[in-house]
Amino acid sequence: MYRHAILGFVSVAFICSTVSAGDATIHWPQFRGPGASGVAEGAVPTRWDATTGENTKWKTAIPGLGHSSPIIWGDKLFVTTAISGKENPELKVGLYGNIDSVEDASKHSYMVYCLDKKTGKVLWSKEAFNGVPKIKRHTKATHANCTPATDGKHVLAFFGSEGLYCYSMDGELLWKKDLGVLDSGYYVVPGAQWEFAASPVIYKDTVIVQCDIQKNSFISALSIKDGKQLWRVDRDEVPTWSTPTIYEGAGRTQVLANGYRHIGGYDIVTGESIWKMNGLGDIPTPTPIVSRDMFYFTTGHGQGNPIYAVQSNATGDVSLGKDEKSNGYVKWSHSRTGNYMQTPLLYGDKLFTCRDNGIQACYDAKTGKKIFKQRLGTGNTGFTASPVAADGKVFWSSEEGDVYVVPVGTEKGVLSVNPMGEVLMSTPAISEGHIFFRGASHVFCIGK
């Protein structure tokens, strides 16, 4: 049986869009926040209970289904959803392995919501598209998987085959772009459609979209001013669900893309390939993460299930040979240990990973040495959302709606397990000492 991949669901200060208020992160502008690191500055709660209201400042109902994560700029929080014409659309979570698509040919309303970060009040909502979805979704996915992105002036909402939409911060539609039918189904069984999930990212005046699909995969740069295509590069790649990451290093800014046939870096100005390597795990979902001198890639499906640590000065083809664990540019690698759904988290010199069955591991990020391993949940608990971290703690969300708080250190342990009261599939956001969770039915603000 094959598991699906649904979330495209990227510690680095190079492209951070943070502003200090004391020592707290304010903006969380894209999937996994500043630089896709998942790491925030400042203290956050470690104990709460959303079912009783303990340390829960507000919760706001959001109609429809969406696995997109909340993003934040200042006092505004943005989230997307897709509202089915059916009264009770199917969503099946948990650990299972079928490849089924949902049969729902009703018209859907694809929506963008803006909430007041402090109160949860809906400030505005806009319908981006209304119609029958062009691509079916998996029973565990939604039609709003892609996390929005913002630079404080524009808000980008990506709905795959239904288009890319750019709004002002006040909800005015500035432009929209049709990128064609984006079918990211299972490449072995093309009829199994699972929907699109790779989120857009913004770098200065450029929008990057990675579209690995059944036929004619590509990565493209667009102008944030009007959506005009700046460049487009074809990729010899099967469908993936990974959001790209931007790395601003010495000499060249790179777009980092995960993949099966093509992991690599592209010049953000021209789209030229800087380096590449073959992967060992198909259906890549995790986003690349970066430090100042290393890139980390992983996937948890297929034969290899690898973790790769690639030096940031990589050039040309850096693929590992048979039985090789490292080479001149690949600092270290592991097989059979990679993440399937979650993007790993780099916190200081430690790399945290978690399998979708709750097996969490901590590695020395420089050497790849395993520091510890532990189980979160019962072994029957699914984990899809990517972790976030702050104040020396890592937060893991289970699909069942419990959030596990793990201390950053050399010893295994769990500080607390905090119930949300509903399914959690989306990666949370952190801003000014508060954690914002997007559940199956609500957005929550957790804070003292």
**pLDDT recorded at residue 53:** 97
**pLDDT recorded at residue 13:** 34
Cα–Cα distance, 181 to 74 (Å, whole number): 34
Confidence of residue 19 (pLDDT cuts 50, 70, 90): very low
Mean pLDDT of the region 152-160: 98
Pairing, β 39-40 against β 388-390 = parallel
Structural contact between residues 444 and 430, judged by C-beta atoms closer than 8 angstroms: no
Confidence of residue 282 (pLDDT cuts 50, 70, 90): confident
Mean pLDDT of the region 355-372: 96
**pLDDT recorded at residue 172:** 98
Alpha carbon of 69 to those of 74, 128, 195, 388: distances in Å?
Answer: 16, 17, 16, 12
Q: What is the largest CA-CA distance in the chain?
A: 56
pLDDT beyond 70 at 393 = yes
Alpha carbon of 150 to those of 177, 190, 241: distances in Å?
Answer: 16, 33, 20
Q: DSSP string of 5-19? A: ---B-----TT----
Could you tell me the pTM of the whole model? Answer: 0.94
Under 8 Å CB-to-CB from 72, ≥6 apart: which residues? 26, 27, 28, 29, 78, 117, 429, 431, 436
Classify 34-446 by CATH class.
mainly beta
**pLDDT recorded at residue 9:** 36
Structural contact between residues 430 and 39, judged by C-beta atoms closer than 8 angstroms: no
Question: What does the angle CA 246 – CA 166 – CA 253 come to, to the nearest 5 degrees?
Answer: 15
Both structure tokens of 37 = 């690191």
The dihedral through the CA atoms of 258, 39, 51, 414 has a sign that is: positive
Length of the chain as a residue count: 448
Percent of the chain's residues with pLDDT above 90:
88
Tens of pLDDT, residue by residue over 419-431, are 999 999 999 999 9
Cα–Cα distance, 156 to 241 (Å, whole number): 18
The helix/strand count (H/E) of the chain reads as 0, 34
* First-to-last C-alpha distance (Å) of the chain: 44
Give the amino acid at 354: C
Residue 410: which of 360, 364, 359 has the closest Cα? Answer: 364
**pLDDT recorded at residue 14:** 34
Structural contact between residues 294 and 368, judged by C-beta atoms closer than 8 angstroms: no
Tens of pLDDT, residue by residue over 313-341, are 999 999 999 899 999 999 999 988 888 89
Q: DSSP string of 335-375? A: SS---SSSPPEEETTEEEEE-TTSEEEEEETTT--EEEEEE
**pLDDT recorded at residue 2:** 36
Confidence of residue 443 (pLDDT cuts 50, 70, 90): very high
Q: How many CB atoms lie within 10 A of CB 380?
A: 10
Structural contact between residues 133 and 162, judged by C-beta atoms closer than 8 angstroms: yes
**pLDDT recorded at residue 292:** 87
**pLDDT recorded at residue 398:** 98
Both structure tokens of 58 = 């507000």
Alpha carbon of 179 to those of 11, 165, 389, 411: distances in Å?
Answer: 31, 11, 34, 47
Q: Indicate the SS3 state at residue 35.
A: helix
Mean pLDDT of the region 279-290: 91
Percent of the chain's residues with pLDDT above 70:
95
**What 8-state DSSP symbol labels residue 441?**
S
Tens of pLDDT, residue by residue over 30-78, are 999 999 999 999 999 999 999 999 999 999 999 999 999 999 999 999 9
Both structure tokens of 343 = 């993007």
Question: What does the angle CA 111 – CA 201 – CA 290 come to, to the nearest 5 degrees?
Answer: 135
pLDDT beyond 60 at 5 = no
Mean pLDDT (the chain) is 93
Tens of pLDDT, residue by residue over 118-143, are 999 999 999 999 999 999 999 999 99
Cα–Cα distance, 247 to 351 (Å, whole number): 18
**pLDDT recorded at residue 6:** 42
Question: What does the angle CA 257 – CA 258 – CA 264 come to, to the nearest 5 degrees?
Answer: 55
Question: E strand or H helix at 165, and its extent?
Answer: strand 164-168
Cα–Cα distance, 190 to 213 (Å, whole number): 10
Residue 247 CA, distance from chain mean position:
16
pLDDT beyond 90 at 342 = yes
Cα–Cα distance, 140 to 137 (Å, whole number): 8
Is the pLDDT higher at 303 or at 97?
A: 97
